[in-house]
Amino acid sequence: MMKFCVILFVLINSLLASSVENSASSSIEDVASSSIENLTFENLEDVEFAVSKELEEKLLAAVQGGGSVTSVIDEYADEILKNVAELIISNGFDPVELPNATLNLIPTGHIFMTEGWLQDLSTISRFENVTSTYKSSERLLIVALPLKFDALLFTYKYHTEVLLLNLRGDVNGKLEKVKMRITLQFDFNTYKAELSQFDMSDTGKLSVEFSGLGLIDWVTNSMTSVVSLFLHPIIIAIINSIVKAPLKAIVEAVNEIIVCILTPAECNNSYF
């Protein structure tokens, strides 16, 4: 059982590493499909994944004693997050293009937003310890991932028409302190992996600055409010897609690989 737990970590890290080498896509929605289509499972026997003696003893004690054990696995998690960052970059999502938009201003007017970019998505990291818990009574292995983005930067070109004013310039801003709580689970009763939790625990704070000639406070305030309301949910949606989709794809891949391990005759994929 303990060695099977270790194999799961090897699988996840190897799948991410192979995705970095082989994946390519053209839109946010393609992240999961491109990752899974291009996964290759080569030289798994050569992958080195050191497990501390302490962790091995704790897992064995939990399995044999009918209890549960929680271990901090920051070292393993940091290695996986490094592969996630490389995956984001190789897929062309740092920076990632933001959509053009025409937004209405009050009392009457419009702001045209073009040439938008969001960057630093590859800076994903953890904000607490990553833990692995084995519950012997339920035969569950649970990995808790507390992830964050410290600051995501964005830029746009804007053209504002309001009353008799015609303004042009740049938009610069950032979304700070975004936090997610993610739980991956493996059930040894069914031999199935699952993404059991994906919660945006803190959607962060968005700030916007405008540059250009002729800016007036009340116009700037109106633009700031409208642009913030427009951009915040879009950036959160991008984060969800870029982080969640590959995790779901990896869970599906792990489940297919487990089928190949347990019942080779039913194996219908190319990992082996």
Q: Which of 137-141, 232-236, 261-265 has maximum average pLDDT?
A: 232-236
Q: What tokens were used for 50?
A: 């050191």
Q: How far is residue 210's CA from residue 154's CA, in Å, rounded to a whole number?
A: 12
Write out the two tokens for 168: 């042009």
What mean pLDDT is predicted for residues 159-184?
A: 94
The answer to the question of residue 44 being in a domain is: yes
Integer Cα distance of 91 and 96 in angstroms? 10
Token digits for 267?
Answer: 């194996």
User: What letter does residue 269 receive in the DSSP assignment?
Assistant: S
Q: Which amino acid appears at position 16 of this protein? A: L
Please state the length of the chain: 272
Q: Is 32's pLDDT higher than 50? A: no
pLDDT at 262 over 80: no
pLDDT for 42 beyond 70: no
Token pair for residue 123? 């800076």
What burial class does residue 250 get, using C-beta atoms within 10 Å of its C-beta: 0-12 exposed, 13-18 middle, 19+ buried? buried
126 part of a folded domain = yes
Q: Residue 183 pairs with which residues in a beta bridge?
A: 144, 197
Beta-strand runs (E) in the chain:
68-72, 96-98, 101-104, 109-119, 125-126, 131-135, 140-162, 165-187, 192-202, 205-211
Domain for residue 257, yes or no? yes
| 66-102 b/e (C-beta count within 10 Å ≥ 16 → b) | eeebebebeebbeebbbbbbbbbebbebbbbebeebe
More confident residue, 40 or 170: 170
What is the pLDDT at residue 242?
84
Domain that holds residue 30: 2-266
Give the residue-averaged pLDDT of 148-165. Answer: 94
Domain annotation covers residue 271: no
Which stretch of DSSP H or E encloses residue 31? helix 31-37
Q: How many domains does the chain have?
A: 1
Helix (H) or strand (E) holding 7: helix 2-22
Closest CA to 12 of 101, 81, 58: 81
109 part of a folded domain: yes
Which pLDDT value is given to residue 103?
92
Q: What is the pLDDT of residue 160?
A: 94
Proportion of the chain above pLDDT 70, given as a percent: 72
pLDDT of 20 above 70: no
Residue 175 lies in a domain: yes
Classify residue 257 by its DSSP letter. H
pTM of the predicted model as reported, rounded to 2 decimal places: 0.74
What pLDDT, on a 0 to 100 scale, did the predictor assign at position 202?
Answer: 95
The phi and psi torsions of 163 (rounded to 5 degrees) equal 50, -120
The pLDDT tens digits for 61-101 are 555 555 677 788 888 888 888 888 888 888 788 898 999 99
Q: Give which of 201, 228, 81, 219 is closest to 163, Cα–Cα.
A: 219
Please give the pLDDT value at position 176: 97
Percentage of residues in the chain having pLDDT higher than 90: 34
- pLDDT score at 169: 95
* Confidence band for 15, pLDDT divided at 50, 70 and 90: low
pLDDT range class, residue 33, cuts 50, 70, 90: very low
In a domain, 272, yes or no: no
- What's the whole-number average pLDDT of the chain? 77
Question: Both tokens of residue 97?
Answer: 């293009």
- 51 vs 49: CA distance, rounded Å: 6
pLDDT tens, residue by residue, 97-133: 999 999 998 778 999 999 999 999 999 999 999 998 8
Q: What angle do CA 140, 32, 3 make, to 5 degrees?
A: 30
Indicate the pLDDT class of residue 204, thresholds 50, 70 and 90: very high
Tell me the pLDDT band of 247, cut-offs 50, 70 and 90.
Answer: confident
CATH number at 88 reads: 3.15.10.50
The pLDDT value given to residue 66 = 57
Examine residue 95 and state whether it is found in any structural domain, yes or no: yes
What are the structure tokens assigned to 14, written together? Answer: 């190897």
